Structure 1
Amino acid sequence: MKFGVARINFIRLVISTIILLSLLHNCGKEGKIVKHKFPYMVTMSAPKEYPIEVHIGVLKDEKKELICGVPKAGVTTGSWQYDGVEAGQGGSRIPSHLDLTYVSYAEKKFWRVDADLPKEKILQLFREGFMVEGNPDSNGEIPWEESTYDGITIGAAPGGVVVVWLSGNHHRREVCRLQAKEISVDKNKFRPHPQYDETQEQFFDKKYSINISDSTKTAIVKTGIPFGSWDKYREKYTYRFVLAPYDNKDKITGLYRINYNGESEILMNAKSVETYKSDSVPYDVNFDFTKYNAEIVFNDQEMLEVFGEMRKLYPDQPIDIVLVPDFMYNDFKVVVQCKDKKIALEKFKVKRIWGG
């Protein structure tokens, strides 16, 4: 009997030791439990002018076991810089592989990407997370709190360009860029209801007519599909935003930026705004000043041309995007500056100004 009790106590000690070692293994430098699972939803996006539709797609883990499907939510309606429609697909295990087949209506083609994902990078980004505004405290002060991503968005652009992002609460980070291959898919296996009296060509022509806007059709006829644009968006430049107020007293106290490459973030104070960062060209930026706020939308081609010219002149020098407001902040001039070279932007749009 005594031997039995001692044996039971020994087994309990072994189990406790295993649990303790497991906890220690999963602890970070500050004693926090290091998570290996993060809940997320999966969405699908595409450039607004070039919609796609998922045929079949799955995310798998490192053992090639199924995590979830890529949602079949119909024709994409969003844009490259935003998440797609949630359709009940998601998980918490970190994905290691993507197998996705989709149809690109503007190109009249089916594409498939079957590739590994950078699991360790995804896990690191989930763990790093970002800071967001919390609930006001008893003094009305709004604290900044730690948060992380809750979505994986897969974007498909013309030419078989596939980009994967993590997204959540006004923050979006690129995970990787993949290359799909054109494949042949019987449209009757794609359609929910086969139409045997319709040819493959008739299917593509009909879908093109329905899903591609008239303005995009005209642009395609005139200049073709702008293949390569979405890779140009991914080029990084070292720059920052600078305010040049009429009284030299105001400053940018924070901003929310969306870049053309699909990444976005919140810079929560003046110090973070003043720091040069490596980023793709800006698309839509909300600026917070001391009294006023403004939202400015930048033109992609103009920004790429101006930044490209600055890089040729001064390849290793950072760039300033200088905002020059008028007296009552009713309008802005915007100048891109690098050393002694200044180029005034002409195609940006001041979307709104508020506050004061």
Structure 2
Amino acid sequence: MKIYILSLFCSVFLLQACRKNDILKMKTSQKEKFPYMVTMTAPDEYPVEVHIGVLTDDKKELICGVPKTGVEDGGWQYDGDAGGQGGSTIPSHLDLTYVSYAEKKFWRVDADLPKEKMLQLFREGFMVQGNPDDKGEFPWEESTYDELTIGAAPGGVVVVWLSGNHHKREVCRLQAKETSVNKDEFRPHPQYDETQEQFFNKKYSINISDSTQQKIKEKGIPFGIWDQYREKYKYRFVLRPYDEKDKITGLYRINYNGESEFLMDTQSAETYKQDGIPYDVNFFFTQYNAEIIFNDEEMLRAFDELKKSHPDQPIDVVLIPGFMYNDFKVVAQCKDKKIILEKIKVKRVWGG
């Protein structure tokens, strides 16, 4: 009788354990499903257009296509146009062919994606302000990414990001290879009396602005700059108000490397972190707010100089507002070395 009861107890225990294991597997499986849309983007002035592209899983089965939404030139820091392509399975591979109009070339990237890194980023997510509660306050709540953005820059540089609700993180950097595509296979309506060279020249004149054409003629395409944007420095923003009472209460930043984030309090806004150079930053202060645009060449030059003179030391980007915050003096500083940033632009100031 004792043996029978013991056997029955063990059976029940094993059944419960199996059920718990099944539930855990189901929850784990559910956590690997994150819905997202796919977009394509390119640096401002250097447009691209998708020829054909697909995202596949680790079994090389199709998840979705890369949307063909026409010429993409919205800027490296922003997502492209939505084209109804997306999925919920984390992709393991990208095969994409596109045309770069400034270079008059077709490129193809056929490479694996870091699935585990993407899964981790989806799981980590970020905090956003939700809908107002009954007290009129906006509580912070968990959220995660809902777009996978592919960026293509001159030189075959391809970067993949996850983005959503004022947050964007780089997933990986890939290298495309120049490829050959018959322009009549690319064009929606073939023009058989047009040569490949005429096609490229025509698209170049249409899609590349006169100012950019002149810039390319004088200085060439700035190959390598998009990889320089990916360099990260340890720095923070610091406010030096004229009345010593104000402080940074939060900020929304967009970096030249395409990443962005919303920092929701003073502590996170003034904490040193490894980051790319800033492009467009909205600063929220106790009374006023300001949006400042930073110059890429000036920031790279200043940060590299400070890093060279003080290796492994963090950098402060000091904001010194004028009266009523109508203007700012901005200084990059490391220890006793200071560099005035003369090319910043105060885009707007509001509040008060």
Please tell me the TM-score bracket, short chain as reference: over 0.9
Aligned residue for 1:243? Answer: 239
Residue 332 of structure 1: which of 320, 328, 334 is its match?
328
- C-alpha contact 2:57 2:93 (8 A) present in aligned 1: yes
Where does 1:119-134 land on structure 2 (aligned, <5 Å)?
119-134=115-130
Q: Deviations over 1:287-333 (max 9, x none)?
A: 00000000000000000000010010011100000000012111110
Report matched runs for 1:89-238 at 5 Å.
89-238=85-234
Tell me, in whole angstroms, the C-alpha distance in 1 between the residues paired with 2:30 and 2:139: 24
Matched, 1:307 2:303: yes
Please give the alpha-carbon distance, in whole angstroms, between the structure 2 residues aligned to 1:309 and 1:164: 29
Give the 3 Å change call, closer, same or farther, for CA 305–16 of structure 1 in structure 2: same
The corresponding residue for 1:20 is: 20
- Asked whether the equivalents of residues 248 and 285 of structure 2 are also in contact (C-alpha less than 8 Å), the reply is yes
- Sort the Cα spacing of 1:34 and 1:275 in 2 relative to 1 into closer, same or farther, 3 A: farther
* Equivalent-residue separation in structure 2 for 1:213 and 1:16 (angstroms): 68
Once superposed, which parts of structure 1, at least 4 consecutive aligned residues long, lie more than 6 Å away?
A: 12-17
**2: CA distance between counterparts of 1:18 and 1:190?**
54
2:145 is paired with a residue of what secondary structure? coil
Give % identity. 76
Given that 2:45 and 2:73 are in contact with CA atoms closer than 8 Å, whether structure 1 keeps it comes out as no
Q: How far is the alpha carbon of 1:141 from its aligned partner? A: 1.5
Per mean C-alpha deviation after superposition, the further-off stretch among 156-165 and 134-143 is 134-143
Q: Aligned partners of 1:299 and 1:260: how far apart in 2?
A: 9
Change (3 A) 1:19 1:91: farther
> How much does 1:125 deviate?
0.1
AA aligned opposite 2:211 = S
Give, in angstroms, the shift of residue 48 of structure 1: 1.4
Shift of 1:190: 0.5
Separation (CA, whole Å) in 2 of partners of 1:61 and 1:137: 41
CA RMSD of aligned residues (A): 1.7
Counterpart in the other structure of 2:5: none
Q: What is the rounded CA distance, in whole Å, between the counterparts of 2:325 and 2:224 in structure 1?
A: 37
Matched, 1:79 2:63: no
User: 1:181-204: CA deviations, max 9, x gaps?
Assistant: 001111011111111110000000
Q: Name the CA distance, whole Å, in 2 between partners of 1:342 and 1:310.
A: 8
Please state if 1:274 is matched with 2:270. yes
Indicate the residue corresponding to 2:48 in structure 1: 52
The residue matched to 1:217 in structure 2 has which SS? helix
Deviations 1:225-249 (A, max 9, x none): 0000000000000000000001111
What SS does structure 2 have at the residue aligned with 1:324? strand
Structure 1 stretches lacking a partner, 5+ long: 1-11
Q: For 1:111-151, what per-residue CA distance to the aligned partner results, in whole angstroms no more than 9, with x for missing partners? A: 00000000000000000000000111111121100000000
| 5+ long unaligned stretches in structure 2 | 1-11
* Count of residue pairs brought into register by the alignment: 342
SS of the equivalent of 1:238 reads strand
Who is 1:4 aligned against? none
Contact 2:234 2:314 in 1 (8 A): yes
Q: Distance in 2 between matches of 1:18 and 1:91?
A: 31
Shift of 1:157: 0.1
Separation (CA, whole Å) in 2 of partners of 1:64 and 1:226: 35
SS at match of 1:39: strand
1:351 maps to which of 316, 322, 347: 347
Deviation at 1:22, TM superposition (A): 2.1
Measure, in 1, the Cα distance between the counterparts of 2:289 and 2:68.
39
CA offsets 1:329-354 (integer angstroms, 9 cap, x no match): 11110001000001111101000000
Instruction: Return the letter of the residue paired with 1:127.
Output: R
Q: Do residues 64 (structure 1) and 67 (structure 2) align?
A: no
- TM-score, scaled to structure 2: 0.94
- Report SS of the residue matched to 1:328: helix
| 1:295 to 2:286 alignment | no
